[in-house]
């Protein structure tokens, strides 16, 4: 997996160099909205990502500082993937994508309800969710260093 050369100085183009495919943002979605954080979790999603693609995307996102690989507190066989601040900051992007889809494509009524809520006070929703995510991942980053069995 090569490191993608910036195709141009354009901020949109640079972002697409990392996320311009059908899968990367779905992994971020799973981490933000569905509390998923292991390889196996991501495989279980509705879109059925292939194992090699998943491994490759996780690597690219790790190389770009969007996610971090940690040892899982429950088991040495597992790997814990957490979002960094850079990753958490994708929340507004994912929100706007959802608002667009809500307006122009067909979206289930339950998701529509959640989006309506988020749209009502966008800023507050983002701030609250961001804090929640930071708390969640900070806890996971720190925990593993406290020896679990001694």
For a copy of itself, give the closer residue by CB, 23 or 39.
23
Give the angle 32-140-80 at the CA atoms, nearest 5°. Answer: 70
Shortest spacing between CB 59 and DNA, in angstroms? 7
Helix (H, G, I), strand (E, B), or coil: what is residue 50?
coil
Shortest distance in whole angstroms from residue 150 CB to a copy of itself: 38
CA of 55: how far to CAs of 71, 76, 144, in Å?
A: 16, 18, 23
Q: What is the DSSP string of 104-130?
A: HS---HHHHHHHHHHHHTHHHHHHHHH
CB closer to DNA, 48 vs 145: 48
**At closest approach, how far in Å is the CB of 12 from DNA?**
16
C-alpha span between 137 and 74 (Å, rounded): 15
Residue 101 interacting partner from a copy of itself, DNA, none (CB closer than 5 to 8 Å by kind): a copy of itself
Regarding 97 and contact with a copy of itself (CB under 8 A), the answer is: yes
Query: What residues between 36 and 95 interact with a copy of itself by CB under 8 A?
Result: 45-48, 86, 89-90, 92-95
- In contact, 126 and 92? CB cutoff 8 Å: yes
Kindly list the residues in this chain that would bind a copy of itself in the complex (CB under 8 A). Answer: 7-17, 20-23, 25-26, 29, 45-48, 86, 89-90, 92-108, 111, 115
């Amino acid at each position: 997996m090569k490191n993608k050369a910036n195709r141009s100085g354009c901020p949109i183009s640079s972002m697409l160099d990392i996320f311009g495919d059908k899968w990367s943002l779905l992994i971020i979605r799973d981490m933000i909205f569905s509390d998923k954080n292991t390889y196996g979790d991501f495989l279980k999603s509705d879109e059925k990502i292939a194992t090699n693609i998943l491994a490759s995307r996780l690597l690219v996102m790790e190389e770009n500082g969007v996610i971090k690989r940690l040892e899982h507190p429950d088991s040495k066989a597992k790997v814990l993937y957490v979002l960094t601040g850079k990753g958490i900051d994708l929340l507004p992007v994912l929100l706007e994508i959802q608002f667009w889809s809500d307006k122009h494509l067909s979206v289930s009524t339950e998701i529509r309800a959640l989006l309506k809520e988020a749209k009502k006070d966008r800023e507050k929703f983002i701030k609250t969710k961001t804090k929640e995510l930071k708390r969640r991942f900070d806890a996971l980053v720190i925990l593993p260093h406290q020896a679990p069995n001694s």
